[in-house]
A and B are shown apart, each in its own frame.
Chain A
């Protein structure tokens, strides 16, 4: 009974794309999955429940705002609108034949896409949850935490004690707001991405890129004398090695956040791809018999993804804290001499 329910549920979540692709005849799992994890100008919650999101285009300083529904005719086919055309998830200037033109100069797309809408939703959720908690602390001063407050307090204390204090040291206080924000931002968005119809926001490279750049900027601007000293004159390394060491260390500054960006993006996207692939098996084999097996695996994967959602938030925050910690740490050069820099 339970499995049947889950099966029904899974049909609901992916039936839209099945319909979309079945119109063209053959079911293409690759296209379906890519469509699901990529951004979109509409938000399909379920079959028939489509939210057309606003398109915002800045064309050489001229702002154009209209609904993305204008790109679809009554047969759900793509049509050009106002001299623009939507193709392969991108908006281009249309040429005379209504085909995308090669001229992209000056066209900026600030559309509220599915990911942006999901971002706003998650942000609203974050603000509501944590303003409520902050209010509880204010009204409930000096008392034991209650309700939602007691759920999040151990997590906040964990981020403070195990992530910030342990990796940054005595100056952790300054970085607490950032660490808490990225932790809950990533966690909330990971979880929202797992919801049926949810957007793959933290599995989008643009989002992880911004987060990684934030960590990079904070690390670089927090760097103290000894941090830069380690980069431009690594203690215990002979001077003549400097032409090799300095570029290597400079590249190291960028590879750290780059790894953050790729790790979060790849983990979340991979999770989505695996779950969608498992469901696709049903349609590839065109057999109901595969259903229970596929659903069982997908359910297991979903639980795993719930864990990964928390784990990736933790890892991103932990590594950010470690990079910041490395930048603000006071090295004892005398002790470091000769031992190289083993800890790094």
Chain B
């Protein structure tokens, strides 16, 4: 029974001392310690979230870079395509022009040839006519040098006329 009967003096000292200790420790130990712990946890938390943010930012930058790169690539392709299109069209027009020119020149040449041909033919014709006349003259001259032959010829003409 002695053991489970609270002693008044000890009760008093325990109560007073405990309250004093509670007060002193709260004011000078627990508050600063808890505050320091909280501050440190906050700073760790902040550092972690900052790192996470930086990581996200890096990812954003990377994505942006990739976007820029893709855009540049597209631009390049476009320019290349345009250039090749322009080249093709230039070649095409040049070809067309050359063809046209060729055709024109051929036509001109043909015309010239035709003209030349015609002129040549006329000349040949003229020459042939002159030659024939010349030949005929010479033949006639030779034939009609004999008066009997002249007679025979005249006879022929008359016969022809009479037959008509």
List, in ascending order, chain A residues with CB within 8 A of B43's CB: 142
Chain B, interface size: which category?
20 to 34
CB distance from A213 to the nearest CB of B (A): 8
* A195 CB–B CB distance under 8 Å: no
* B22 CB–A CB distance under 8 Å: yes
Instruction: Tell me whether B33 and A181 are in contact (CB under 8 A).
Output: no
Instruction: Tell me whether A134 and B28 are in contact (CB under 8 A).
Output: yes
Instruction: Tell me whether A206 and B29 are in contact (CB under 8 A).
Output: no
CB distance from B39 to the nearest CB of A (A): 7
Instruction: Tell me whether B9 and A156 are in contact (CB under 8 A).
Output: no
CB distance from A194 to the nearest CB of B (A): 19
Contact with B along A16-32 (1 / 0, CB 8 A): 00000000000000000
Instruction: Tell me whether A205 and B6 are in contact (CB under 8 A).
Output: yes
List CB contacts (< 8 Å) of A126-144 with chain B.
Answer: 126-127, 130-131, 133-134, 137-138, 141-142
Chain A, interface size: which category?
35 or more
List, in ascending order, chain A residues with CB within 8 A of B21's CB: 123, 126-127, 181, 185
Question: Chain A interface mostly helix, strand, loop or mixed?
Answer: helix
* The one of B17, B30, B31 that contacts A120, using a Cβ cutoff of 8 Å: B17
* B157 CB–A CB distance under 8 Å: no
* A157 CB–B CB distance under 8 Å: yes
* A233 CB–B CB distance under 8 Å: no
Contact with A along B10-31 (1 / 0, CB 8 A): 1111110110111011101111
Q: Which of A138, A176, A210 has the most CB of B within 10 A?
A: A210
Question: Chain B interface mostly helix, strand, loop or mixed?
Answer: helix
Instruction: Tell me whether A178 and B3 are in contact (CB under 8 A).
Output: no
Given contacts A153-B37, A211-B18, contact A39 B10 (CB under 8 A): yes
Instruction: Tell me whether B6 and A116 are in contact (CB under 8 A).
Output: no
Instruction: Tell me whether B29 and A37 are in contact (CB under 8 A).
Output: no
List, in ascending order, chain B residues with CB within 8 A of A178's CB: 22
* B148 CB–A CB distance under 8 Å: no
CB distance from B40 to the nearest CB of A (A): 7
Instruction: Tell me whether A116 and B24 are in contact (CB under 8 A).
Output: no
Given contacts A180-B30, A210-B15, contact A39 B7 (CB under 8 A): yes
CB distance from B163 to the nearest CB of A (A): 152
Instruction: Tell me whether B9 and A116 are in contact (CB under 8 A).
Output: yes
Instruction: Tell me whether A113 and B9 are in contact (CB under 8 A).
Output: yes
Stretch of A64-72, A104-112, A290-298 that contacts chain B: A104-112
Q: Which of A109, A112, A127, A177 has the most CB of B within 10 A?
A: A177
Instruction: Tell me whether B17 and A110 are in contact (CB under 8 A).
Output: no
List, in ascending order, chain B residues with CB within 8 A of A211's CB: 18
* B154 CB–A CB distance under 8 Å: no
Instruction: Tell me whether B33 and A206 are in contact (CB under 8 A).
Output: no
* The one of B2, B3, B15, B33 that contacts A134, using a Cβ cutoff of 8 Å: B33
CB distance from B154 to the nearest CB of A (A): 155
* B4 CB–A CB distance under 8 Å: yes
Instruction: Give A181 to B23 CA distance when docked, in angstroms.
Output: 10
Across the interface, name the chain B residue whose C-beta is closest to A57.
Answer: B9
Instruction: Tell me whether A209 and B6 are in contact (CB under 8 A).
Output: yes
* A278 CB–B CB distance under 8 Å: no
Instruction: Give A311 to B21 CA distance when docked, in angstroms.
Output: 22
Instruction: Give A110 to B15 CA distance when docked, in angstroms.
Output: 12
List, in ascending order, chain A residues with CB within 8 A of B33's CB: 130, 133-134, 137, 156
Known: A110-B13, A156-B37, A206-B10. 12 other contacts (CB 8 A): A109-B9, A112-B13, A119-B13, A119-B14, A138-B36, A141-B36, A153-B37, A180-B30, A181-B22, A205-B4, A207-B14, A210-B18
Chain A to chain B contacts (Cβ below 8 Å), 28 pairs: A37-B3, A56-B9, A113-B10, A116-B10, A119-B10, A126-B21, A127-B25, A130-B25, A134-B29, A137-B32, A137-B36, A142-B40, A156-B34, A156-B37, A160-B34, A160-B37, A180-B25, A181-B21, A181-B26, A205-B3, A205-B4, A206-B6, A206-B14, A209-B6, A209-B11, A210-B14, A210-B15, A265-B4
